[in-house]
Amino acid sequence: MESVLHEARKFPPPSSFSANAHIKSFDQYDQMYRESIDNPEKFWAEKAADLHWFKKWSRVLEWSLPDAKWFVGGQTNLCYNCVDRQVKDGFGDKTAIVWEGEPIDDGQPEVRRLTYQDLQREVCKFANVLKNLGVKKGDVVTLYMPMVPELAIAMLACARIGAPHSIIFGGFSASAIRDRVADADSKIIITADAGWRRGKHIPLKNTVDEALQNNDTQATKQTVKNVVVLKRCGNDIDMIDDRNHWWHDLMAQVPEACPCEEMDAEDLLFILYTSGTTGKPKGIMHTTGGYMVYTYLTSRYVFALHDDDPDELYWCTADIGWITGHSYIIYGILPNRVPTLMFEGAPNFPGPDRLWDIVSRHKVTKFYTAPTAIRAFMKWGDEHPKKHDLSSLKVLGTVGEPINPEAWVWYNKVIGSEKCPIVDTWWQTETGGHMITPLPGATTTVPGSCTLPFFGIDPAIVDKNGNEQPANTGGFLVIRKPWPSMLRGIYGDRERFIKTYWSEIEGCYFAGDGARIDADGNFWVMGRVDDVINVSGHRLGTAEVESALVSHTQVAEAAVVGVPHEIKGTGIAAFVTLKGTATPTPQLKDELIAHVAKEIGAIAKPDQIRFTDSLPKTRSGKIMRRLLREVATGKEIKGDTTTLEDYSVLAKLRDDA
């Protein structure tokens, strides 16, 4: 990879901020960082002591690559640390969750505030509901829900009784649910009649029904015994099947107390499916103790959370269905005893200023969103944020993909009035928490760079032989030491776990990203180096989209590549060859796009479909993706867009070269 030099503007931490920050200076960061790397066990033992343990660990870390065990022998419960502990310490009346619904009736949105006491009561009740339905420690509970407080309640209830949850983002399709439920052998699904999105109902329960319909025809070990349905929109749904239960009926029948299961630090906390380089998503496993300590500490330092500030209100705009929501709406935030805001709807409903309206009405102090959203806000126009008082904001965060410096600068100026440190946090579903990120008040920020590693994280840029690269030279981003919230495996697939993360570069965790380090030591993540694409901060496998396309009756072969997209960061271009009698028409393109949405979910819809009579391949039969990417990013092909494209000559030329 060639060297890239970049001169960027630097933003030192504002001194007004540093005075009150947990980490007050670069020197303090630097010293703590060294300690955390030189003596990780001491560092993490001290930090873990901030949280409640039923039984203290006997060893902080046992590491035998690729298996890490953190806080070995320790017993705790993450729900206890999120909820019960706050009540026990006298903060039962403090707000835990502020929720705002999407619809605005009579000019007023619906707002619900749950105190820690409220949350404890609801979580205990739902934990009892789960127990009554036969859920035991270790049983996987699938959640397919809208962004309502009951989603937080259900996940915390799972953590309380030691039942790992598998949360499926509400935008995924019936077949995505079917695959994930089967892979996790999950016997229960928690869902809702529907959820609100841009003024419309997303019919979640119908999609669950569709997923379960094919029970007999699927070659899966589908064994769902119970479906619990929350009434959110009042949708007309089918509850005939005797495995269906209304949430409110079950909740009316249970006591308000439920003890927390004493979980071993390494007991499974949740599975979260994410896309990889094959068609099959992988169930990333996170365990209890290390994940708890790491998400707690990153939340505290990266967002500079202060539980003693009565005005503190943290808001992450992600959906809980993604890792960002797991770690930085619920699990990392609540143990910090600060309120977390949940918003149900779309950022542009009813108007493009909805988020700024929320920030100003609730006086949000810490705000965390994605570059794709920032680019959309830029496009919608400055007048929308400018209509609202955003002066409560103190820290702005971004996550999901590299942020282009233009978007960073806009975010800093228009949203942050140049007084809020911007934390560009690089991490992954697999890493559980922030890995490379600025610390507000302590470290200098640079537009486009996620800057420096968090405590205990030892990243490096290497070539394929594992040799460290000099400054400003691109290479593979790897992590050389275990960290508390690292994935513990892929559910049911040990081999894939080893092959994907631990085999590319010897002795290191392979992240799948390309990056470089500049002369100041700042990291610049360039993007994925595998067949994974990052569409609007959501990860998709090209193989996944390809297999959705070839499942259409008229498609013979498909190849998918990522192409630059103004808002999404990366868009999807699909090259398709049709079966014998099929004709390439604009209608068929639309049909294929709809087919992918049905197979995976709307986020996977191709932006371009190009019909071709053959795909360019090397002699060994490998599709030449680089060539397709060039074609897809090149000028629009003139004339009838349905004309077949012919790569045969080009492909052969390349192959011979």
Interface residue list for ligand WT7 (CB under 6 A): 274, 323-324, 399-402, 424-429, 450, 511-513, 525, 527-528, 534, 537, 539
Nearer Cβ to ligand WT7, position 428 or 554?
428
Q: Are 642 and 619 in contact (CB under 8 A)?
A: no
What span, in angstroms and rounded, lies between the C-alpha atoms of 28 and 21? 11
> What DSSP string describes 226-260?
EEEEE-SS-------STTEEEHHHHHTTS-S--PP
Nearer Cβ to ligand WT7, position 366 or 610?
366
Least CB distance to ligand WT7 at residue 322 (A): 6
**Alpha carbon distance, N-terminus to C-terminus of the chain:** 20
Mapped onto helix, strand or coil, the DSSP state of residue 76 is: strand
Least CB distance to ligand WT7 at residue 402 (A): 4
Amino acid at 488: R
Least CB distance to ligand WT7 at residue 268 (A): 19
CA atoms 23, 28, 31, 33: torsion sign: positive
What span, in angstroms and rounded, lies between the C-alpha atoms of 429 and 618? 34
Q: Are 436 and 452 in contact (CB under 8 A)?
A: yes
What span, in angstroms and rounded, lies between the C-alpha atoms of 277 and 284? 14
Nearer Cβ to ligand WT7, position 25 or 428?
428
CA 137 distance to own-chain centroid? 25
Least CB distance to ligand WT7 at residue 534 (A): 5
Nearer Cβ to ligand WT7, position 322 or 575?
322
Nearer Cβ to ligand WT7, position 79 or 511?
511
| Exposed / middle / buried, residue 12 (Cβ in 10 Å: 0-12, 13-18, 19+) | exposed
Least CB distance to ligand WT7 at residue 474 (A): 14
Nearer Cβ to ligand WT7, position 322 or 356?
322
What span, in angstroms and rounded, lies between the C-alpha atoms of 352 and 90? 40
Least CB distance to ligand WT7 at residue 15 (A): 26
Least CB distance to ligand WT7 at residue 437 (A): 8
Least CB distance to ligand WT7 at residue 133 (A): 31
What span, in angstroms and rounded, lies between the C-alpha atoms of 232 and 173? 19
Nearer Cβ to ligand WT7, position 96 or 399?
399
Least CB distance to ligand WT7 at residue 498 (A): 19
Least CB distance to ligand WT7 at residue 86 (A): 26
| Exposed / middle / buried, residue 303 (Cβ in 10 Å: 0-12, 13-18, 19+) | buried
Mapped onto helix, strand or coil, the DSSP state of residue 576 is: strand
Nearer Cβ to ligand WT7, position 29 or 427?
427
Nearer Cβ to ligand WT7, position 402 or 571?
402
CA atoms within 13 A on the CB side of 207: 30
Beta bridge partner(s), residue 62: 69
Nearer Cβ to ligand WT7, position 399 or 478?
399
Nearer Cβ to ligand WT7, position 306 or 528?
528
Contacts with 547 (C-beta within 8 Å, 6 or more apart), sequence order:
279
What span, in angstroms and rounded, lies between the C-alpha atoms of 642 and 592? 13
Residue 578 region by backbone torsions, left for phi larger than 0, else alpha for psi between -120 and 50, else beta: beta
What span, in angstroms and rounded, lies between the C-alpha atoms of 638 and 653? 23
Least CB distance to ligand WT7 at residue 318 (A): 8
